[in-house]
Structure 1
Amino acid sequence: MKQLPRRLMLLGIVCLMSLFVFPMWQIILYAPQYPDGVEMHIYIDKIGGSSPGTLQNVNILNHYVGMQYIEPDDIPELQYFPYIIGAMGLLGLIALAINKKWGYLSWTIVLVVLGILGMYDFYLWEYDYGHNLSDTAPIKIPGASFQPPLIGRKQIINFIADSWPHIGGIGFGLSMFFGSAAWWSRKKQLSK
């Protein structure tokens, strides 16, 4: 029982590091011509999909309504996210080593703040992506917005867009849970 806070913190770090392996987010587009959906995966350092041509297919669809092409190399967040997650992993190891309740709490608070800022940044990117349309688009629908949902499901013309956390995103959420649990269990130990 004495090692419980450290074990919980270690679980939190492992869950956070899952972002280096699994996508953090997925957007799936369903339409009559895509009954199985076009599944786009967003990692901390790249954008891909369930098949090799996913990003190309999404960009072709975007072209018709004047949406911007998705160019992963032009998205600065994909360049620096790995460093932020790596730094948080290192800070988590420091919190684990010192085994202080304030260390666990501080790590968890920073992680929550990063999660909120990340979601806000993602919303801004989606807003620009869905509203900043080219005037030379082959298909023009006055007043239409093609912004995918931040989270959940949304009808966009003849498409249904689903936007949900993927395995890495769930791991991120679990890391906040385990960090909080480590803080709570250490606090409980010290109050005895």
Structure 2
Amino acid sequence: MTWLDKIIGPRIPDSVLHRERRRFRRPTLLLGTAALLLLISIFFPYWRIRLFAPQYPGGLVAKVYVNRVEGDVREIDGLNHYIGMRPLEEAAQLERSLSIILIVAMALLVAGAIYVHSPWAAVLSLPALLYPLIFLADLYYWLWNFGTHLDPRAPLSSSVKPFVPPLLGEARGPVSRSGHLGHRTLAGHPGLYPDHCRPLLPPQGIQAVLRSLCPRGAGIASRRCCCSW
């Protein structure tokens, strides 16, 4: 048996596939749907931030996609300029340049797990499973980086304390050095996101793969800044 045979696992006899069709169809549908949703997520915003200011009572919104930022970017950058925050377009340039390639690669790995009849199916799906956590961690890093590294030459930089816009939820900010709250409310929340794929991945998806593609009885080795989604 070659190393490739060990990774792919044993072939399922046609008689078994026909007799237990539902058992083998479920992991195929779960993993296939997860791979498709990952690809579809490219066309939707992953995260949004809404900013309320006296001159903009209706609020300003920036929508963060995996490879670009859309919305009221110019207006938000104009307000942030006064406190010394860099333009939004400067954030996560490396991540945005690689995002499409990485998402397509993760989708292919998840789709490839359909044809793997061994615990390696879980390994192939692991990047997609960790992707939501990595995205949130990277997003928080850039929020922290932008909010705590203000340009000291900005008109209001000397009167504003460094701050971190909220990843999720709502907050008031920035705060002046005298302790007074700023007049802007920030709110962060998620947009459409590959987190929708998580119910289709481990434990449901991968566990279904391992249970269905391994012989029964055989042990399995490893089983008002407001930000919004």
Q: Identify the TM-score tier after normalising by the shorter chain.
A: 0.7 to 0.9
CA RMSD of aligned residues (A): 2.1
Partner in structure 2 of residue 14 of structure 1: 36
Q: Which structure is richer in relative contact order (CA contacts within 8 A, separation 6 or more)?
A: 1
The structure 2 residue matched to 1:177, chosen from 174, 193, 199, is 199
Counterpart residue number, 1:42: 64
Residue 88 of structure 2 aligns with an amino acid whose one-letter code is I
Quickly say closer, same or farther: Cα 1:17–1:99, change in 2 above 3 A: farther
TM-score, normalized by length of structure 2? 0.72
Q: Distance in 2 between matches of 1:94 and 1:81?
A: 20
Q: Of the candidates 120, 130, 136, which is equivalent to residue 119 of structure 1?
A: 136
Provide the residue aligned with 1:166 in structure 2: 191
What secondary structure sits across from 1:45 in the alignment?
A: coil
2:16 counterpart residue number: none
**1:93 to 2:102 alignment:** no
- Alignment partners' CA distance in 2, 1:142 and 1:64: 11
Alignment of 1:1-192 (within 5 A): 1=22, 2-49=24-71, 54-71=72-89, 75-98=93-116, 100-103=118-121, 105-140=122-157, 142=159, 144-156=161-173, 157-167=182-192, 169=193, 172-180=194-202, 181-189=204-212, 190=214, 191=216
Contact residue 47 and residue 72 of structure 1 kept, 8 A: no
Displacement of 1:76 in angstroms is 1.4
Match for 2:186: what amino acid? Answer: A
Q: Summarize deviations over 1:46-104 as a string: whole Å, max 9, x none.
A: 1112xxxx11111101111111112258711110111110100111121123354541x
Q: TM-score, normalised by structure 1?
A: 0.85
Structure 2: unaligned runs, 5 residues or longer: 1-21, 174-181, 218-229
Shift of 1:18: 2.0
Deviation string 1:128-181 (CA, Å, 9 cap, x unpaired) is: 1011111221123546234211222221122221112101x2xx1121220122
AA matched with 1:183: I
Q: Distance in 2 between matches of 1:160 and 1:73?
A: 21
Q: 2:60, 2:115 → 1: CA distance? A: 44
Provide structure 1 residue ranges, at least 5 long, that are not aligned to the other structure: none
Task: Identify the structure with the greater helix proportion.
Answer: 1
What code does the residue aligned with 1:41 have? K
